[in-house]
Amino acid sequence: MELREPKRKRVGNHIKPQQPFPILIESESGIPADSDLWPVYIGNFTGDCVIICNPEEMKSLYTMGFFGKGSLSRGYPSFGLIKKGIPPIIKERQWQRRKSWIDKMKKNLSDTFKQVNDITNTSGDIYEGEKSGEQIKLGTNDVSPMDVDSTISESCVVKECDVQNSDSDVKDSDIPDSDAHPDNLKDMKVRDCEVTEFDFTDKVLVLADSDDDDIEKVLRDPQPHIEDEKIKTVVETLNLTLEEAFFLSYALGCLQVIDLSGQTMSLKKMWHTFCQIKPDFIESYVTYHHFRAKGWVVKSGFKFGGNFLLYKQGPPFFHASYVVLVERVDSQLNRYNDSLTWTKLHGLNRLAENSGKDIITCQVVFPDSLAPEDLMSPKSLAKFQVNELLTKRWISSQERVEKEFS
């Protein structure tokens, strides 16, 4: 049976092919692998997934291996980015909602600062001592100085920086006028750097709402205006599935996961927590690890009725070649449940054919010698066996034609 040739996408040049994993690969980067240079990404466990908040880490994890998905995007986390010199575009009602959120955030921050100032001001108040009956005043001036070792005090001396005449090279003509029009920024020079375009950082382009009754009026005059968004109220994150997060931590050793209490999760704790949240996590992760080790880019297959989708190089370059169904079986290949019926398999096969894909049934074999307590640790991963079954619909006329020409 011939394997399906991956179908290349017509578009997708916005992301260039990079190395397959977000770690140091000597054959790809030319840099020898070293523990001191090994990248470590920080993720936060939210209860059902692991999120990455740092923009640089989000970019590295997605472009090098296509791990995760943007929380506000279809794939690559591109929400709110400046594209082709144009700031993010939102509707008027969205901007009004964001303004209300900004006002609430400012109010909460001011209340917090006020509470801190009140606590600071009352730190020098007079308290009555219950033991002696005397009044004790707690003030900053009454605290006795600490004895500091001489070697430490010498190392803490702040040296004076040589900043003499640091502003002497800046001329008055080099400083742009604050009332200058943005169109005249092209002619300005700050020192030796030419400003060639308007800086749209922290800016949004607001258009009129398009769901009004008079849609033609909105199209003729969308009423565009630029607004400042100094405080970001809508921030995109990169969401990793449980399988992706554990693969990055266990197989690649480049992800550090923080739990809900702010503590770093060990591999054993991650394994135990993920198994509690997702009952089929073991067979799901074994399948994910199996195909990742084969060089496939593994993504969620829920929209095609399966567990995973297999891509060559990544979703921007090729369409998915296979839909993966995960089954848990014993050493005699008996299913633990009857969730995969012939009716369901027939429907999935038709759906896969219409979308140009094949179905792979991945059987994860649980050995009989594996005790229940062994499943509570990732050390048991080496004991599992994986069987692949390629499923295709039998067409009698096609078989007759093949026999005639064979």
pLDDT tens-digit series, residues 31-69: 776 767 789 999 999 999 999 999 999 999 999 999 999
- Cα end-to-end span (Å), the chain: 14
Identify which has the larger pLDDT, 225 or 129.
225
Q: Would you state the structure tokens that stand for residue 109, as one six-digit string?
A: 């921050």
pLDDT, position 340: 79
Residue 152 has pLDDT above 70, yes or no: no
Residue 332 within any structural domain of the chain: yes
Domain stops at, among 226, 243, 278:
278
The string of pLDDT tens digits covering residues 166-181 is 343 434 444 344 344 4
Could you give the C-alpha distances from 385 to 253, 309, 333, 336, 341, in angstroms and in order? 23, 20, 11, 15, 23
Six-digit token pair at 234? 């809508």
- Structure-model confidence comparison of residues 306 and 115, the more confident one: 306
* Same domain (yes/no): 227, 334: no
Which burial class, exposed, middle or buried, applies to 153 when counting CB atoms under 10 A from its CB (0-12, 13-18, 19+)? exposed
Domains in the chain, number: 3
Residue 339 lies in a domain: yes
- Which residue in the list 59, 203, 272, 319 is annotated as catalytic? 319
Tell me, what's the pLDDT at 142? 43
Q: Domain for residue 388, yes or no?
A: yes
Residue 42: give its domain's CATH number.
3.40.1170.20
Q: What pLDDT was estimated at residue 35?
A: 67
The one catalytic residue in 288, 357, 383, 403 is: 357
Single out the residue of 72, 92, 69, 91 nearest to residue 81, CA to CA: 72
Q: Residue 4: inside a domain, yes or no? A: no
- Find residue 391's DSSP bridge partners: 359
Residue 336 forms part of a structural domain: yes
Active site residue 311: yes
Q: Identify which has the larger pLDDT, 10 or 3.
A: 10
How do residues 58-115 score in pLDDT, each as one tens digit? Answer: 999 999 999 999 998 888 888 777 676 778 887 888 888 888 888 888 888 888 888 8
Q: Which residues span the domain enclosing 85? A: 80-118+195-234
What would the two tokens of residue 329 be?
Answer: 């079986």
Q: Is 357 labeled as catalytic in the residue annotation?
A: yes
234 Cβ neighbours under 8 A, 6+ residues apart: 72, 79, 80, 98
- In this prediction, residue 64 carries a pLDDT of 92
Is 319 marked active-site?
A: yes
Catalytic residue among 311, 336, 346, 383: 311
Say yes or no: 351 and 301 in one domain.
yes
Please indicate, yes or no, whether residues 249 and 112 belong to a single structural domain of this protein. no
pLDDT band of 201, cuts 50, 70, 90: low
The number of angstroms, rounded, from the C-alpha of 312 to the middle of its chain's C-alpha atoms is 21
Q: Give the per-residue pLDDT at 406.
A: 67
Q: Which residue has the higher pLDDT, 336 or 149?
A: 336
pTM to 2 decimal places:
0.72
